[in-house]
């Protein structure tokens, strides 16, 4: 029962979530007593380094037309490649890309699918996968009984395991199907840290009173090497761009540290950030719902508290 991991790339660079998926897939392969391979659609110079994450072989189709993601094209290529590779277990990261391909591949291969996995499968009696349900409020254990199995791993749910190794890169020679979607333009979001891959996120809400006060959020984020985010009301009233909106109707994130400034913590917002390893809440309202979900809470005026935190971090950095 071999394992095949889909590796997502952007501009030739392997995405952080794909390193997690590679380590996860390699761990499954070890459980099953087999090898882990990967498939990459697009050009990258980093493919052989996947050997450091337990991947023995990387199947790559480097055609330039694959630089623009098309879920239908990618799904068909993976299915056709697997006719030769012969994998039984497929691993994706449960990102936008993975969510677009995994269900389509499941239909093509008649494979059972579990999305939102948070732990290695239990193979002691079958193949049972633990996943997050109800916006992270509970867990379910799903048995996959089909011959082929697909798992989409929640980002930041499995630690990256790095060793020494070099993966063999094998070129795929498959005919690329005609895309049904034409890319007219690409508008890139420019920022130091991509929100979806950030280890630390500093987020602001309506408690900041206006966009002119957002400097304390960006200053703190810059000091911490963090990405910035916001609640939905903030993006709706155009204080911040919509791509920074985190929550149930925005981007779901799972950083190691999430700092919420002036956000009350409505259930819709919590649904998008409750997978964060550590949550710090700064709010002057002691009854704010967010405090119930926080690991650490500071009751105080953000315009007094945050500048003091910034000053303390600066002094700490100067002393190191």
| Inside any domain, residue 190 | no
161 and 202 share one domain: no
128 CB-near residues (< 8 Å, 6+ apart) = 121, 122, 141, 142, 143, 144
Whether pLDDT at 63 is above 80? yes
C-alpha 19/C-alpha 26 separation (Å) is 11
164 and 213 share one domain: no
Whether pLDDT at 136 is above 90? no
Q: What is the pLDDT of residue 180?
A: 85
- Element housing 72 (H / E): helix 71-85
CATH of the domain at 206: 3.40.50.1220
Partner residues linked to 10 by β-bridges = 13
Dump pLDDT digits (tens) for 184-224. Answer: 888 776 666 788 889 999 999 999 999 999 999 999 999 99
| Inside any domain, residue 183 | no
Supply the DSSP symbol for 122.
Answer: B
Q: What is the pLDDT of residue 192?
A: 66
Q: What is the pLDDT of residue 188?
A: 75
Q: What is the pLDDT of residue 186?
A: 80
Q: Quick one: average pLDDT of 141-148?
A: 97
- Element housing 138 (H / E): strand 138-143
Whether pLDDT at 243 is above 80? yes
Whether pLDDT at 75 is above 90? yes
Q: In which band, very low, low, confident or very high, does the pLDDT at 256 lie, cut at 50, 70 and 90?
A: very high
Q: What is the pLDDT of residue 297?
A: 97
158 and 266 share one domain: no
| Inside any domain, residue 294 | yes
127 and 44 share one domain: yes
Higher-confidence residue of 135 and 38: namely 38
Whether pLDDT at 319 is above 90? no
207 and 167 share one domain: no
Whether pLDDT at 81 is above 90? yes
Q: In which band, very low, low, confident or very high, does the pLDDT at 88 lie, cut at 50, 70 and 90?
A: very high
208 and 312 share one domain: yes
| Inside any domain, residue 87 | yes
Whether pLDDT at 134 is above 90? no
Q: What is the pLDDT of residue 237?
A: 96
Closest CA to 264 of 196, 203, 199: 203
Q: What is the pLDDT of residue 179?
A: 87
Q: Quick one: average pLDDT of 293-315?
A: 96
CATH of the domain at 37: 3.40.50.620
| Inside any domain, residue 248 | yes
Q: Quick one: average pLDDT of 295-310?
A: 97
Distances (CA, A) of 108 to 7, 77, 143, 175, 206: 19, 11, 20, 18, 46
112 and 239 share one domain: no
Q: What is the pLDDT of residue 103?
A: 98
256 and 315 share one domain: yes
How confident is the prediction for the chain on average, in pLDDT? 94
Domain holding 53, by residue range, is 3-171
Phi-psi region of 86 (alpha: psi -120 to 50; beta: other; left: phi over 0): left
| Inside any domain, residue 69 | yes
Whether pLDDT at 320 is above 80? no
Whether pLDDT at 85 is above 80? yes
| Inside any domain, residue 189 | no
Domain boundary among 155, 171, 187: 171
309 and 211 share one domain: yes
301 and 201 share one domain: yes
Q: What is the pLDDT of residue 191?
A: 62
Closest CA to 16 of 253, 183, 217, 204: 253
Domain boundary among 139, 171, 203: 171
94 and 19 share one domain: yes
Q: In which band, very low, low, confident or very high, does the pLDDT at 119 lie, cut at 50, 70 and 90?
A: very high
Beta pairing class for 89-93 and 36-41: unpaired
267 and 207 share one domain: yes
Q: What is the pLDDT of residue 302?
A: 96
Q: How many domains does the chain have?
A: 2
């Amino acid at each position: 029962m071999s394992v095949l991991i889909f590796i997502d790339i952007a501009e030739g660079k392997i995405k952080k979530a794909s390193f997690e998926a590679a380590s996860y897939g390699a761990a499954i392969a070890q459980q099953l007593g087999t090898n882990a391979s990967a498939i990459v659609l697009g050009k990258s110079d980093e493919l052989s380094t996947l050997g450091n994450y337990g991947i023995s072989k990387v199947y790559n189709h480097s055609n330039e037309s694959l630089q623009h993601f098309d879920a239908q094209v990618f799904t068909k290529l993976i299915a056709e490649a697997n006719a030769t590779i012969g994998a039984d277990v497929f691993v994706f990261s449960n990102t936008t890309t993975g969510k677009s391909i995994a269900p389509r591949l499941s239909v093509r291969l008649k494979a059972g699918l579990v999305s939102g996995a948070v732990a290695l499968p239990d193979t002691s009696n079958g193949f049972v996968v633990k996943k997050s349900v109800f916006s992270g409020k509970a867990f379910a254990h799903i048995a996959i009984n089909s011959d082929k199995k697909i798992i989409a791993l929640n980002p930041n749910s499995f630690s990256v395991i790095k060793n020494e190794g070099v993966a063999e890169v094998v070129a795929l020679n498959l005919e690329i199907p005609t895309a049904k979607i034409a890319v007219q333009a690409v508008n890139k979001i420019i920022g130091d840290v991509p929100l979806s891959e950030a280890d630390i996120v500093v987020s602001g809400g309506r408690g900041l009173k206006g966009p002119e006060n957002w400097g304390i959020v960006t200053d703190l984020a810059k000091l911490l090497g963090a990405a910035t985010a916001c609640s939905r009301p903030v993006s709706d009233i155009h204080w911040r761009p919509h791509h920074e909106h985190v929550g149930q109707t925005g981007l779901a994130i799972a950083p190691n540290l999430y700092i919420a400034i002036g956000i009350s913590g409505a259930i819709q917002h919590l649904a998008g950030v409750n997978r964060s390893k550590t949550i710090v809440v700064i709010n002057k309202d002691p009854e704010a719902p967010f405090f119930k979900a926080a690991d650490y809470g500071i009751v105080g005026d953000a315009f007094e508290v945050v500048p003091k935190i910034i000053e303390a971090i600066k002094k700490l950095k100067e002393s190191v």
